[in-house]
């Protein structure tokens, strides 16, 4: 056995495209354009089952943990060693594209096929993981499956967060046959894991515009999410003079503009603030909005700046509300810290790019990822592949070429096998370790 087989393995772009198309067909009926496959729904479970069937057919041991994460393990030659893993997620935002999360899952499926077909051996067990409920679109909180694995979310936390219909995460889990009270059993133990590397689409345009095929992620942004409630006074749009109004939507709109200005000012370089949803009540063209809820997402790679900016925006909202006679209250929804990924895993990916003769760029991730949540338990890294169409994501316009994805899979499998070949006790810089491929 040698990890030098890595470069000989070539992902099949057509097979990747075919799997992407299979998953894209699994969408809620009548949900509009793109793919809608929300967290902890029967459709998400069906997508996990499609992955599981593929892995079982390749002879892998497959199981679903209490969080709904699906795991497939290919045995290593030394069962005493901790696992090396890759994976991503299969749930989506409403009206999503085909690639966010799915790219990393089909990469895992293709790697399992390549290793099987070419009878490649590895020392460590190789695990392929599909995390449940990565998207925060349904419950506000992102990465529920990986947060549970990483010990960041407990059974008690699953009752508090609810979707737009008032369904809690725990209730949604029960509705798809999972037991939310048992999630402690899904928590990963550091001693069971050697390294984890996730492939994901970039969800930005840096790689495409710079014609670089691979991104090697060094840090992942955190996010603080909260709901602002504006309580004004509903009244007749014709009868109520402008100076006597307490318009909840006008106050919210002013906060949206202030949020944009705050994120753009020089103190907040790199901060991203988005109000992605406004619920206006009563929602009638002839009634002044009496109540409005705004959902805010603050992202940053600097954890202090992330939290300080969120607090500053809440203060600004209160000020705007006071000036307009609109009562403002803030409700925290979710909070995840940014992470810096370890350099020795990153260097294994860089090393894989060198072996494949590929240019790469070390870059941060503005989006959240499952990798972020398990990185406290297992040393982790990420491979980005280019997003086309100006880098749009969370949109049906999301696009990654199958050939570009195949290049990413080649790098990923090479990195996984390089990690497998590295000496167990040498988590230093790759160049300083006894790496079997160096």
Q: Which residues bind Mn ion (CB under 5 A)?
A: 100-101
* Tokens (6 digits) for 325: 């006679």
Interaction pattern, residues 140-169, with ligand GLV; x per rule: CB under 6 A: --x---------------------------
Site for ligand GLV in 361-390 (CB under 6 A): 367-368
- Which of 44, 135, 198, 291 is the binder for ligand GLV (CB under 6 A)? 135
CB under 5 to 8 A by kind: which of ligand GLV, Mn ion, none does 142 bind?
ligand GLV
135 or 404, CB closer to ligand GLV? 135
Residue 12, CA atoms < 13 Å, CB-side half-sphere: 12
135 or 355, CB closer to ligand GLV? 135
To which residue do tokens 């009752």 refer? 159
Report, in Å, the least distance between residue 134 CB and Mn ion: 6
Relative orientation angle of helices 13-24 and 42-57, to the nearest 10 degrees: 150
Angle CA 414–114–203, to nearest 5: 60
CB under 5 to 8 A by kind: which of Mn ion, ligand GLV, none does 368 bind?
ligand GLV
Q: Residue count at the site for ligand GLV (CB under 6 A)? A: 5
Where does this chain touch ligand GLV (CB under 6 A) — which range of 135-143, 375-383, 403-411, 427-435? 135-143
- The set of residues, in sequence order, having a beta carbon less than 8 Å from that of 47 and lying 6+ positions away, is 23, 26, 37, 90, 91
Report, in Å, the least distance between residue 363 CB and Mn ion: 16
Torsion region of 276: left, alpha or beta (phi above 0 gives left; psi -120 to 50 gives alpha): alpha
Report, in Å, the least distance between residue 87 CB and Mn ion: 11
104 or 136, CB closer to ligand GLV? 136
Distance CA 401, CA 382 (A): 19
101 or 232, CB closer to Mn ion? 101
Report, in Å, the least distance between residue 138 CB and ligand GLV: 12
Report, in Å, the least distance between residue 48 CB and ligand GLV: 18
Using DSSP bridges, classify how beta strands 193-201 and 380-385 pair: parallel, antiparallel or unpaired.
Answer: parallel
68 or 140, CB closer to ligand GLV? 140
Using CB under 6 A as the binding rule, whether residue 198 contacts ligand GLV is answered as: no
235 or 303, CB closer to ligand GLV? 303
Using CB under 6 A as the binding rule, whether residue 136 contacts ligand GLV is answered as: yes
CB under 5 to 8 A by kind: which of ligand GLV, Mn ion, none does 136 bind?
ligand GLV
Report, in Å, the least distance between residue 222 CB and Mn ion: 15
Report, in Å, the least distance between residue 133 CB and Mn ion: 11
Site for ligand GLV in 289-348 (CB under 6 A): none
The number of beta carbons lying within 10 Å of the beta carbon of residue 219 is 17
- The set of residues, in sequence order, having a beta carbon less than 8 Å from that of 327 and lying 6+ positions away, is 230, 231, 232, 321
Report, in Å, the least distance between residue 89 CB and Mn ion: 6
CB under 5 to 8 A by kind: which of ligand GLV, Mn ion, none does 289 bind?
none
99 or 230, CB closer to ligand GLV? 99
Report, in Å, the least distance between residue 134 CB and ligand GLV: 7
CB under 5 to 8 A by kind: which of Mn ion, ligand GLV, none does 120 bind?
none
User: Which residues form the interface with ligand GLV (CB under 6 A)?
Assistant: 135-136, 142, 367-368
């Amino acid at each position: 056995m040698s990890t030098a087989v890595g470069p000989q393995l070539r992902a099949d772009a057509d097979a990747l495209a075919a799997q992407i198309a299979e998953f894209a067909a699994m969408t809620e009926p009548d949900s509009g354009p793109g793919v809608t496959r929300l967290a902890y729904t029967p459709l998400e479970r069906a997508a996990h089952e499609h992955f599981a069937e593929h892995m079982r057919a390749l002879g892998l041991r497959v199981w679903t943990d209490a969080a709904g994460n699906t795991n497939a393990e290919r045995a290593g030659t030394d069962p005493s060693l901790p696992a090396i893993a890759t994976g991503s997620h299969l749930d989506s935002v409403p009206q999503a594209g085909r690639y966010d999360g799915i790219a990393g899952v089909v990469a895992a499926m293709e790697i399992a096929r390549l290793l099987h077909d070419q009878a490649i051996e590895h020392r460590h067990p190789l695990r392929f993981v599909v995390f449940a409920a990565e998207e925060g679109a349904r419950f506000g909180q992102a990465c529920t499956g990986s947060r549970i694995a990483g010990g960041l979310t407990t059974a008690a936390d699953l009752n508090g967060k609810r979707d737009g219909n008032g369904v809690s995460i725990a209730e949604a889990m029960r509705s798809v046959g999972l037991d939310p009270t048992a999630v402690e059993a899904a928590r990963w133990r550091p001693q069971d894991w050697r390294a984890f590397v996730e492939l994901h689409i970039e969800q930005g345009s840096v790689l495409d515009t710079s014609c670089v095929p691979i991104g090697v992620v060094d840090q992942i942004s955190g996010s603080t999410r909260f709901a602002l409630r504006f309580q004004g006074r509903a009244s007749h749009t014709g009868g109520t003079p402008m100076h006597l109004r307490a318009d909840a939507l006008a106050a919210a709109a002013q906060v949206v503009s202030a949020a944009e200005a705050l994120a753009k000012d020089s103190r907040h370089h790199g901060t991203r603030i988005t109000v992605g949803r406004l619920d206006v009540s009563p929602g009638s063209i002839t009634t002044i909005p009496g109540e409005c809820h705004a959902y805010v997402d603050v992202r940053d790679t600097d954890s202090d700046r992330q939290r300080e900016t969120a607090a500053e925006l809440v203060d600004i909202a209160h000020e705007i509300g006071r000036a307009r006679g609109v009562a403002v209250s803030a409700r925290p929804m979710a909070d995840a810290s940014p992470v810096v990924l370890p350099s020795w895993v990153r260097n294994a990916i860089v090393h894989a790019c060198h072996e494949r003769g590929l240019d790469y760029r070390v870059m941060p991730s503005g989006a959240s990822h499952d990798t972020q949540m398990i990185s406290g338990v297992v040393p982790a890294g990420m491979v980005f592949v280019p997003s086309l169409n100006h880098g749009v994501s969370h949109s049906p316009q999301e696009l990654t070429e199958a050939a570009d994805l195949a290049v990413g899979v080649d790098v990923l499998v090479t990195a996984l096998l390089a990690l497998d070949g590295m000496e167990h006790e040498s988590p230093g810089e790759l160049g300083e370790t006894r790496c079997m491929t160096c």
